[in-house]
Amino acid sequence: MKKIIRTTTIPKSLTAFCTGILKELSMKYEVVALSSPGEDLDLIAKTDGVKTVSIPMERHISLIKDFVSLLKLIKTFRKEKPDMVHSMTPKAGLLCMLAAWIARVPVRVHTFTGLVFPTAEGLTKKILMLTDKITCFCATHIIPEGEGVKNDLINNKITKKPLKVLGYGNIRGIDLDFYSKRKSVMDIATQLKSKDYFTFVFVGRIVKNKGINELCFAFQKLSAVYPKVRLWLVGPYENDLDPISDESRKIIDSNSKIEAVGQKNGDGLLAYYAAADCFVFPSYREGFPNTVLEAGAMDLPCIVTDINGSREIIKDGYNGLIIPSQNEDALYKAMEYMLVNSEVRMNMANNARESIKERFECSFVRKCLYDFYDEIFE
């Protein structure tokens, strides 16, 4: 039986991207899940029934800690003797592909779930591009999560190796039975929904790179003109990594129409989708944003920025609107358009779920991955 080690930097990424997949893979392969230690790694062991290995990995550059992690990874790969190491997320990609190359693991796969360097500048951008080049050099197979990521890798000359997008992109897919307006979801949504207010919802980390600054200022302007609007911000603040501006935080704290409700999961999260009228996601960069897929599956029209992933999910004017990134005025106009053009918005809402079903249903996305593994091991 072939052995596969799936790796991410932090265990939360494993639960987000691989829950269920690892269990299905274990029916055919010996599967090991590897990431930094944490409760989510323990959860993977219980839910998917696979062996787990914890090796601390820093999300940001830390030369000494990164070197220690690299040595531990090399030792682990030599001990486990996998036939494949498949990494996701930037730091896990760099360290695990390099370690697997040194340990002479036969098949080394990295999935680019998003690229950081396109929005970076100066020396930081050069360093990020170099790390991606090292990752690609050490990998035998490279999977961009979508066509946008693929084009960025090619256009910036990160690698000359063949790049394969699986299916229509995305690495997890959407479980349409779960992401639906089930009774348990609608019971909660009924308590949240208000017929008197038009509700925008954002789901994700409350950080600068998700476009929260522009969203706060655009909504502040919108709510001054249209009193019957509100905005839900669903997700955690990350003040240490990529904080929003002080001005944006003041708007969130002072505008009674904005509710920062924190991170939600399960039916509690789906209820916010189900109770809203429009999903807004003004991110600066993505690989393939799962929240846009989730919102579409919950019948929500979406406002997204013209970035990788989002532009591959949303067809402008069909199931949402696409606007320029980092453009507060364009965001305001799009939100206003959704608010005042109810018939057009409802048409987009009617198209939303079907567009997700056609291209991103989870069984189809998983089959693309499993077929890819079969091709490698033939």
Do 193 and 154 fall within a single domain? no
> Are residues 199 and 319 both part of a single domain?
yes
Task: Say yes or no: 197 and 279 in one domain.
Answer: yes
Structural domains of the chain, count: 2
Q: What is the pTM of this model?
A: 0.85
**Residue 154: inside a domain:** yes
pLDDT number for residue 126: 94
What is the pLDDT, as a whole number, of residue 317? Answer: 96
| Domain co-membership, 84 together with 142 | yes
Gyration radius of the chain over CA positions: 21
> What's the confidence (pLDDT) of residue 61?
84
Half-sphere exposure of 333 (CA within 13 A, CB side): 9
CATH number at residue 75: 3.40.50.2000
- Whether residue 236 is contained in a domain is answered as yes
On whether residue 348 sits in a domain, the answer given is yes
Instruction: Assess if residue 216 is contained within a domain.
Output: yes
> In this predicted structure, what is the pLDDT of residue 60?
84
Q: Say if residue 128 is in the same domain as residue 198.
A: no
Tell me: do 134 and 197 sit in the same domain. no
Q: Does residue 209 sit in the same domain as residue 346? A: yes
Q: What is the pLDDT of residue 16?
A: 86
User: What's the pLDDT score for residue 120?
Assistant: 85
Measured CA to CA in angstroms, residue 365 lies from 110, 127, 359, 369 at distances of 17, 32, 8, 7
Largest Cα–Cα separation, the chain? 64
Q: What is the pLDDT along the chain (378 residues), one digit of tens a residue?
A: 999 999 999 999 999 889 889 999 999 999 999 999 999 999 999 999 999 999 999 988 889 999 999 999 999 999 999 999 999 999 999 999 999 999 999 999 999 988 888 888 899 999 999 999 999 999 999 999 999 999 999 999 999 999 999 999 998 899 999 999 999 999 999 999 999 999 999 999 999 999 999 999 999 999 999 999 999 999 999 888 899 999 999 999 999 999 999 999 999 999 999 999 999 999 998 888 999 999 999 999 999 999 999 999 999 999 999 999 999 999 999 999 999 999 999 999 999 999 999 999 999 999 999 999 999 998
Residue 175: CA count within 13 A, CB half-sphere: 10
Q: Based on the fold, state whether residues 342 and 222 are members of the same structural domain.
A: yes
Q: Where in the sequence is the domain holding 251, given as residue range(s)?
A: 183-360
What pLDDT, on a 0 to 100 scale, did the predictor assign at position 333? 98
Q: Are residues 130 and 72 part of one domain?
A: yes
* Ramachandran angles phi, psi of 62, nearest 5°: -150, 90
Confidence (pLDDT) at 19: 84
Residue 220 lies in a domain: yes
Length of the chain: 378
Q: Are residues 71 and 211 in the same domain?
A: no
Q: What's the CA gap between 34 and 53, in Å, rounded?
A: 5
pLDDT of residue 59: 87
Per-residue model confidence (pLDDT) at position 118: 86
Residue 178 within a domain: no
355 and 371, same domain (yes or no): no
Domain shared by 169 and 251, yes or no: no
Instruction: Report helix, strand or coil for 74.
Output: helix
